[in-house]
Each structure stands twice: as structure tokens, then as C-alpha cells.
Structure 1
């Protein structure tokens, strides 16, 4: 019975966070601190850092899956906590960059342009979709509902991995167009 109450206690939190994060990010994406009188330098050094964080997150996710398949539960828990922490750090840096810098326009032409936008749009949409999936997976693990945790984790993992990898790809594709 305790397991069910853990899940129930977190349901509202999961819903609120899953809605709040994308809404707040979208709002803050349009906020430029200079427009509010803050004299801040653009944080132009952040994109390669948060792209690297995405890459590290992808590696950590794969390591976490391999560790659980090998029965190393404690290592899996640590790696998943690291992956969640990296995603939070990424999000803070991403928002900070966009609050201090103008958005960079993709300058590629030809067939690469629709490829870039497909990757970008799928990355953005899935980054929103993965939030509740990660939270539900995490809470089910906390509640020791490993049968349902495993079912949702099988959906969550490839989406989260795609978001992490395409974050790096998007950065690599747009990086030639950043203005320093």
C-alpha cells in the first residue's frame, strides 16, 4: 500500500512540473535581461558547454541501462541521478544563454536546412514529452514498482537518449553561425 501512496503523492508534482518547465522555458526564452535594464554580457561561452552536457548525459544513460542489465542496481541508481542532474544543469544554462543572447539563425542551405529543422523540432517536442516520462520512471523506482518502472523506462530511455544526442547534433549544425 505504501508504494501506491508514494506514486499518488507525486502525481500532482509530476503534472505541475511537466507543464511548468516548458511554459517557463518558453517565457524565459523570450526574456532578454538587457531589455529590463540589466547590464549583462551575453553568455556566449555556454552553448558548447551545454552541448557537452547533452553528450555526457547520453553516455550516462547508456551506462545506466548497461548497469541495470548487469544487475548493478546501486550503480544504475547513481547514474540515473547523475543523468537527471545533468539535464537540470543543461536546462539552467540553456535558459541563461537565451536570456542574455539573441537566438542564432541557422545559415545552412539546400537539403541540410530541412534536415536541421526536422532534428531541431523533433528535439524540442521530445524534450517536452520526456519530462513526465523521466519523472514517472523515477517515482516508480522510488516506489519500488519495478515492473511498471521497467515498462515506462523502455519508452523513456530511447526518447531521452534521442533528445540528448540531437542536442549535440543541433549544436554542431548551428555552431558555425554563432556570433561572438
Structure 2
């Protein structure tokens, strides 16, 4: 199979996942499963976001230093961490009541700006990550680099703001 055709082969799957994942998360937010206590998950998935951010930075350093295999392994790890974050996040919200932000004044506006931009960009980053990944796997490195220059800062922002959101809302969690 021609390398460029590999991307075409995965295009429909990536587009489908990019639509289905956010819709599934939205639908699952409305599902409440009683009898399970997953209130321990927020600090874990915030840590996963933090680790993702650190590894994204390390992956950029690796590729800039010509360590292609290390870069590839770090990026695969970041994808795995992001997927595990998503599972834990959905599991928490399906079994726990949402925590309202309790801050006031200007900090409240900052929190909601960060939260809304985080949510919107977390949706946008799904196809960007998947297309970047497929382009690297199909050895379309020029296309991969071009898209990664857009994907990387968005993914890093989503990972870092995930931690910031947790830190800002953590005083309001009911334990």
C-alpha cells in the first residue's frame, strides 16, 4: 500500500472517532451510576494530564535532538495517557455529581475561560493528534511536521489546563 494511502485508509476512522468521542462523553455525562465511589479519580487524572504535558515537552526535545525512536515512544505514551485520562474522567462523572466551582470575582471568570477553552480545544485536538500520528506512521514526515506544529501547542495547552482546572476546583470537591 502506498504510504499516502495509509492516511486515506484511516481518514474515515479518525473522523468517526473525532465525532463519536465528544458525543459519547456528552451523552455519558447524563448517565449516573449509583453505588460506586470514584471520587479518588480527579487527582489521578490531573496527574495523568501533568505527566502528559511533561512527556510532550520531552518528546519535542527528543525529536529536536534527532532521537526519533524516543520521540515515537514518548508520543505513543502520551496518546495512551490521554486515552486513560478520558476513561477515568468519564468514569468519575458517571458515578459522581459534578462539582460546581465555588470561587468568586475575577478568578471565577478566569476559571471559566480556562475551562471552556480547555473543553473546546480538547475536542479539536482529537483529530489533530490522530492525523499527526497516522502521518508519522505512514512516513509522511513533512506533512506530519506541518500538522504537529499546530497539534503540539494545542495538546500541551489541554494537558496543562487540565491540571490548572483541577487545582482551581479541588477545594470545592465533596469528599
TM-score range, shorter chain: over 0.9
1:135 matched to 2:127? The reply is: no
Count of matched residue pairs: 175
1:29 matched to 2:24? The reply is: no
Normalising by the residue count of structure 2, what TM-score does the alignment of the two structures yield?
A: 0.99
Q: What does residue 55 of structure 1 align with? A: 50
Q: What does residue 20 of structure 1 align with? A: 20
Deviation readout 1:3-62 (Å, 9 max, x if unpaired): 11101100000100000000000100111012xxxxx22310000000000000000000
Q: What does residue 85 of structure 1 align with? A: 80
Q: What does residue 163 of structure 1 align with? A: 158
Instruction: Work out the CA distance in 2 between the residues paired with 1:10 and 1:44.
Output: 36
Given candidates 90, 94, 101, the residue that maps to 1:95 is 90
Instruction: Work out the CA distance in 2 between the residues paired with 1:3 and 1:153.
Output: 18
Deviation readout 1:62-120 (Å, 9 max, x if unpaired): 00000000000000000000000000000000000000000000000011000000000
Q: Secondary structure at the match of 2:174?
A: coil
- Root mean square deviation, CA, Å: 0.7
Question: Deviation of residue 150 (structure 1)?
Answer: 0.0
1:42 matched to 2:42? The reply is: no
Q: Secondary structure at the match of 1:174?
A: helix
Q: Secondary structure at the match of 1:78?
A: helix
Q: Secondary structure at the match of 1:33?
A: coil
